[in-house]
């Protein structure tokens, strides 16, 4: 027994373009035959329903007027100058931070001490405490420099490009004093003085 009809084969059967081998399957298979008969009945009912009349020409004019009124009453959100103007500063600041981290990481790298082979009687070398902030800061800068040194300029730019969610979050978390200073800096940059 061959496989049951696919949706495409039922359409071909309704259109009368089904190959002869598949027509014999339709005649022999109860499942496919019943489905085909149901589809033919549905097709007949749809044909008997007739043509749906076109709506009145006034409908389209009124419909268009209602849409125009609805869209006219909706306010168009206006973007403030500072919402657009601060994004380049964040990008430039992030790129400058990465470059600074690379420069500081390269210039402050200290060679790793060679293991000292001494006798057991000698005293061990002093070690830095884990909570030493200088060591943590150097390690962080070194890590950032190592990470950034493997990236191309395009990848660095993509990594430092802030998303709108991140920048909105930063602005939303500013204190009033920080926000005022931020606005002052942007106005100074674009030449707007009050």
Per-residue pLDDT, averaged over 155-161, amounts to 70
Instruction: Indicate the pTM of the whole model.
Output: 0.28
Per-residue pLDDT, averaged over 50-63, amounts to 79
**Domain count for the chain:** 2
- Shared domain for 163 and 97, answered yes or no, is yes
| pLDDT score, position 70 | 83
d(C-alpha 160, C-alpha 153), whole Å: 11
- Shared domain for 34 and 106, answered yes or no, is no
Per-residue pLDDT, averaged over 75-88, amounts to 71
pLDDT band of residue 37 (cuts 50, 70, 90) is: very high
Whether residue 55 lies inside any domain: the answer is: no
Whether residue 122 lies inside any domain: the answer is: no
| pLDDT score, position 132 | 53
Whether residue 62 lies inside any domain: the answer is: no
pLDDT > 70 in the chain, percent? 71
Whether residue 60 lies inside any domain: the answer is: no
| pLDDT score, position 34 | 92
Per-residue pLDDT, averaged over 30-59, amounts to 84
Which residue range(s) make up the domain with 40? 7-46
d(C-alpha 22, C-alpha 41), whole Å: 21
Residue 169 has pLDDT above 50, yes or no: yes
- Shared domain for 13 and 106, answered yes or no, is no
d(C-alpha 101, C-alpha 149), whole Å: 10
- Shared domain for 19 and 95, answered yes or no, is no
pLDDT band of residue 134 (cuts 50, 70, 90) is: low
Name the more confident of 188 and 127: 188
| pLDDT score, position 133 | 53
Whether residue 40 lies inside any domain: the answer is: yes
Joined tokens for residue 2: 């061959």
Whether residue 182 lies inside any domain: the answer is: yes
Residue 165 has pLDDT above 60, yes or no: yes
Whether residue 91 lies inside any domain: the answer is: yes
Select, from the ranges 11-20, 40-49, 65-74, 113-122, the one with the highest average predicted confidence (pLDDT).
11-20
Whether residue 176 lies inside any domain: the answer is: yes
| pLDDT score, position 121 | 47
- Shared domain for 172 and 88, answered yes or no, is yes
Select, from the ranges 15-24, 47-56, 147-156, the one with the highest average predicted confidence (pLDDT).
15-24
């Amino acid at each position: 027994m061959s496989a049951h009809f696919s949706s495409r084969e039922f359409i071909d059967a309704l259109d009368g373009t089904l190959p002869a081998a598949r027509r014999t399957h339709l005649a022999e298979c109860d499942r496919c035959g019943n489905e085909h008969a149901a589809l033919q009945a549905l097709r007949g009912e749809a044909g008997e329903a007739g043509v749906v009349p076109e709506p009145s020409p006034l409908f389209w004019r009124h419909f268009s007027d209602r849409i125009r009124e609805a869209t006219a009453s909706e306010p168009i959100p206006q973007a403030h100058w500072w919402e657009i103007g601060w994004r380049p500063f964040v990008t430039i600041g992030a790129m400058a931070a990465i470059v600074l981290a690379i420069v500081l990481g390269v210039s402050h790298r200290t060679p790793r001490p060679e293991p000292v082979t001494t006798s057991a009687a000698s005293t061990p070398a002093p070690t830095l405490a884990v909570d030493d902030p200088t060591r943590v800061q150097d390690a962080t800068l070194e890590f950032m420099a190592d990470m950034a040194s493997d990236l191309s300029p395009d990848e660095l730019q993509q990594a430092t490009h802030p998303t709108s969610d991140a920048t909105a979050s930063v602005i939303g978390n500013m204190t009033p004093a920080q926000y005022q200073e931020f606005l002052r800096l942007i106005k100074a940059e674009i030449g707007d003085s009050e």
